[in-house]
Each structure stands twice: as C-alpha cells, then as structure tokens.
Homo-oligomer: A and B are copies of this chain.
Amino acid sequence: MKKATPKSRSVTVSDVAREAKVSKATAARVLGGYGAVSDKVHADVMAAAKALDYRPNELARSMTTGKSGIIGVVVGDIENPFFSLAVRGISDAARAAGFNVILANSGEQIEVEKAAVRLLIGKRVDGLIVTPAESRDISHLRDIYRSGRPLALLDRALPDLDVDTVTVDDRDVAMRATRILVEAGHREIAYVTAVDADGGRFRDLTQIYTSSVRERIEGFLAVCHDAGIADPKRHVHLGATSPEETCRIATKLLSPSDRPTAILASDSLIGLEIFKVILALGLSVPKDISLITFHDADWTSVTSPPITVVDQPVYSLGKSVAELLIRRLQGDTRPAERLVLPTSIIERGSVGSPPKRSLETAG
C-alpha cells in the first residue's frame, strides 16, 4: 500500500488511467461518476485510484463544469449570535442539498463586503447569500446578477434589487415592542442601534440605509407618535457599532440628567452592553429603567430579572434563504420571492412601570 506521493505532484486522472490500463476519458468517467462503464473497468479504475490514493482536483473540475458546488455567504458579523445562528440555518439547508458553504465577514463595512463579493465571484461560487450593509451602494450586488449567478438577500431587503429575499416583520414587531413599553406607562423611550450616520445624530429615516433597522425605527416612531410623545426622534441613538461605542452611548444615556425610563436595543450585543452599564451604574431593572432587546440571545434568560426580547426566527431565516437560493440553482425561474417571517415577543421581567421620579419631574 501507501505508494503515496510524498510531496510531489498530486496524482491525476491520467495517472489512474495509466495504472488501470484504460483511456483517460474512461478513468474520468468512473472517477467523476458520469457516463457509462462496464463493471470490470469500473472495478479496475477504482482499484487503481485507491492504490495511487487519487484525490480529485475540485478546481479543475469546477473550471470545466462551471459549477463549484459552493454557496458564498457574506454576513455582517459572524461573532454576532444572530448571524452565527442564521449561518447554521444556511449550512444545514446547503448540506441537505449537497452544497458547501464559504463564509466571509464584512464587518458591516461596505468596502469589505464588495471585496468579499468580488472574491467569491472570482472563486466561481454557484450562488451568493448576502446581508447587505447598505442600500446606497449596491453596484457589486448588481454585478452578481449580471454575472449570471443567483443572489439572495438575508435579513435586509433592497427595494431596488428584485431578488429572492427573506426578512422578518421588523416594522411590525418594533411597533409591538414599543407598545408594550408605552402601555406600561413609558413616555421617555430610547432606541439604540448599531447603524451609524452623521456622527450618531438621528434626523430622519432617509439617513438609514439598512432596511431592517429603518423599519424598526419607523415602527418605533409611529407608536411613539400615536401615543402623543413629543419629538420621539430625539430618542433615537445611532452608532453603537462596538462594545466600546455602545458603552459610551449608554453611559451618556443613563446619566441622571436626562435619563429615559425605557430602552429598546436593536440587537443583543447592544442590549448586553446597555445592561452592563445599567449594572455598573447601580440601577435596577425594571424599577429604575425598563429594557427590551432584539434577539433572544443566551444571556437574556439568565439575568435578574430576565430580559423581555423580540424573538426572531433566526435559524429559519437562514434556512429559508438558502432554500430559495438552492431552488434557483436547480433551475427555478419563478419571479423573485420576498418572504417575510413572523416574529414574536417573549415577555420576561425587564419591563415595568416608569419610576416615580420621572413622573415628578415630568409634572
């Protein structure tokens, strides 16, 4: 045995063919599992392949076929549990259909996202799933389309790009979450999001180029408005892009001077950081401040009190978008589909009445 190539050139179809005393084409047929071959030849070639320890060169294979069996995925931040869970959904669906997944991280930076897309197209992935960081600059996404490979969007829709898209009902669930706060008596509700623009100052929705975030803010503002809260815009805080930034924002937000009575956090990383600051400041949830966060992350159920969360069907989000893409890869030509998955709110213990202090000062 072990005639193995120590470190020289790897063994090719030709080598196997020679060893099995058949033509290159015949060897390729059994090795590649296509065409028809007699049982004897099949056995001979397999034996030769085993003896030589043949490994197919996937590169050469996909160069001739034009398919790679790979789905490229570009997400904002793989360290965010939201995305890791979605990626597992994608991976499971991909594996079930015989595809592999290459993962790239954009860090929510448009330039990195562009580079990743370029790389993946260069590697000739069969299709792409992207969580677009912006809706302004989507030239690279149009390029994908023009390259003839299917593209599907995850979690964030792009009105101008008519491709398969799976999102959740962000606007609606943001309204429901805000309503819970309003109905508990809150009038000073802050919304904190990672998306940044104009140095963190929120003016209006046209600044926000991430559809999911825009919809959430939209829902938040709508409910605040309906509740007769004056100028709710001033309570929207942008730029919680890192734990450090979030800490800075939360510390400022929670200083006694102009403290809101409730906070809505746009993702679990932000929610966690805010909760840490609340703890550090010696404040109590929900007595001093109420908190709701998007994403039913691990930590939200083990704090005291446990945190009320917006529970998105994250795994399904990934699974569905992958399934949609795979259908395209298999030749589906139906018009682009826009799936909106329903979300729910898990009420735990982090919402209460606003503290009396605020009633006094408000009066």
Enumerate chain A interface residues (CB-CB to B < 8 A): 4-8, 10, 53, 55-60, 62-63, 68, 78-79, 81, 84-85, 87-88, 91, 100-105, 118-119, 121-124, 146-148, 272, 275-276, 279, 297-299, 301-304
Contact = CB atoms under 8 A, between A and B. Distances in A.
Contacts of A84: 78-79, 84
8 contacts: A6-B146, A57-B122, A58-B123, A63-B63, A78-B84, A79-B84, A91-B105, A299-B302
A148 B279 contact: no
A150 to B, nearest CB: 11
Nearest to A72: B102
Nearest to A61: B122
A140 B10 CA distance: 16
Given A78-B88, A279-B302, 8 more contacts: A5-B148, A6-B146, A81-B81, A275-B302, A297-B298, A299-B299, A302-B302, A302-B303
Contact of A118 (B6, B55, B57, B87): B55
Given A279-B302, A298-B299, A63 B59 contact: yes
B58 A60 contact: no
A52 to B, nearest CB: 12
Contacts of A100: 104, 119
Q: Sort A-B residue pairs by CB-CB distance and give the 3 closest, nearest first.
A: A299-B299, A58-B122, A7-B148
Contacts of A105: 88, 91
Contacts of A63: 57, 59-60, 63
Contacts of A87: 78
A180 B239 CA distance: 41
B147 A10 contact: yes
Contacts of A119: 58, 100
A278 to B, nearest CB: 9
Given A78-B84, A78-B87, A124 B58 contact: yes
* Residue from A124, A298, A304 having most chain B Cβ neighbours under 10 A: A298
Contact of A272 (B58, B302, B304): B302
A146 B4 contact: yes
A5 B146 CA distance: 7
Nearest to A303: B302
A333 to B, nearest CB: 12
A85 to B, nearest CB: 7
Contacts of A6: 146
Nearest to A87: B78
A229 to B, nearest CB: 29
Contacts of A304: 303-304
A156 to B, nearest CB: 21
A89 to B, nearest CB: 11
Contact of A57 (B78, B85, B124, B303): B124
Nearest to A148: B7
Nearest to A83: B84
